[in-house]
Chain A
Amino acid sequence: MAEQLPLSGVRVADFTWVWAGPFCTLQLAHLGAEVIRIESESRLCITRRIPPAADGEAGPNRCGYFNQYNQGKSSICLNLKKPEGLEIAKKLVATSDIVAENFAAGVMDKMGLGYETLKAIKSDIIMIALSGYGATGPESPYVSYGPAQVPMSGLASLTGFPDFPPTNVGFSYGDPNGGLHGAFAVLAALMHRARTGEGQYIDLSQWETSVAVLGEGTMAQEMNGSPPQRIGNRDLYMAPHGLFRCQGDDRWVSIVVADDNEWHKLCAAMGKPELANDARFATLAGRKQHEDALEAAVTAWTETLTDEAVTTRLQAAGVAAFPALTNKELAEDQHMRGRGFFAELPHPEVGVRQHAGVPWVFSDTPCTVRRSAPCLGQDTEDILQRVLGYSADEVAVLKDNEVLS
Chain B
Amino acid sequence: MSEHNSPTPNSQPPGPLQGIRVIECGHMVGAAYAGKLMADLGAEVIKVEEPGGDSARQRGPYPGNTPHPEKSGLFLYLNTNKRGITLNLETSKGQELLQRLVQDADALVHNYHPTQMSALGLEYEALARHNPRLVMTSISPFGQTGPRREYTAHDLTMWSAGGLVFLGGAGGRPDLPPLKAFGQQAGFQAGVNAGLASLGALYGRLSSGKGQHIDISVQECLVAIMENNYIAWPYDHTTPSRLGFRLIPQDVLQCRDGYIYVLAVEDHQWKNAVELMGSPEWANTELFQDFVSRSVNWDALKALLEDWLQDKSVQEVYHGAQKRRVPFAPVSTMGDLLKSEHLNARGFFAEIAHPEGGSLRYPGAPYKFSASPWALRSPAPCLGQHNEEIYGGQLGLSPEELKSLKETNVI
Contacts and interface: CB of A to CB of B under 8 A. Distances in A.
Nearest to B180: A233
Q: Return the 4 tightest CB-CB contacts between A and B, nearest first.
A: A219-B73, A6-B204, A170-B167, A215-B77
Nearest to B227: A171
Contacts of B170: 160-161, 164, 167
Given A327-B233, A359-B223, A361-B143, 19 more contacts: A47-B228, A55-B235, A68-B230, A148-B329, A154-B337, A184-B192, A185-B369, A205-B346, A208-B366, A214-B182, A216-B61, A222-B73, A237-B60, A243-B179, A320-B152, A320-B154, A324-B160, A356-B224, A362-B197
Contacts, number: 516
Nearest to B174: A250
B232 A51 contact: yes
B203 A324 contact: no
A184 B265 contact: no
Interface stretch (A83-91, A195-203, A275-283, A396-404): A195-203
Interface in A320-354: 320-331, 334-336, 338-339, 341, 350, 353-354
22 contacts: A64-B231, A142-B322, A154-B332, A171-B226, A181-B192, A189-B372, A205-B348, A208-B363, A211-B348, A216-B61, A217-B334, A219-B74, A222-B73, A236-B60, A242-B156, A242-B177, A326-B233, A330-B163, A334-B147, A360-B193, A360-B214, A361-B214
Contacts of B304: none
A158 to B, nearest CB: 4
Contact of B179 (A65, A137, A233): A233
B213 interface: yes
Contacts of B78: 215
B166 A326 contact: yes
A325 B164 CA distance: 8
A390 interface: no
A238 B55 CA distance: 13
A202 B214 contact: no
B85 interface: no
B200 A6 contact: yes
Contacts of B327: 142-145, 148
A173 B162 CA distance: 13
B333 interface: yes
A336 B223 contact: yes
B165 A254 contact: yes
B236 A51 contact: yes
Contacts of A365: 201, 204, 208, 212
Interface in A73-97: none
Interface in B53-108: 58-65, 73-74, 76-78
Contacts of A56: 236
Given A19-B227, A341-B223, A327 B163 contact: yes
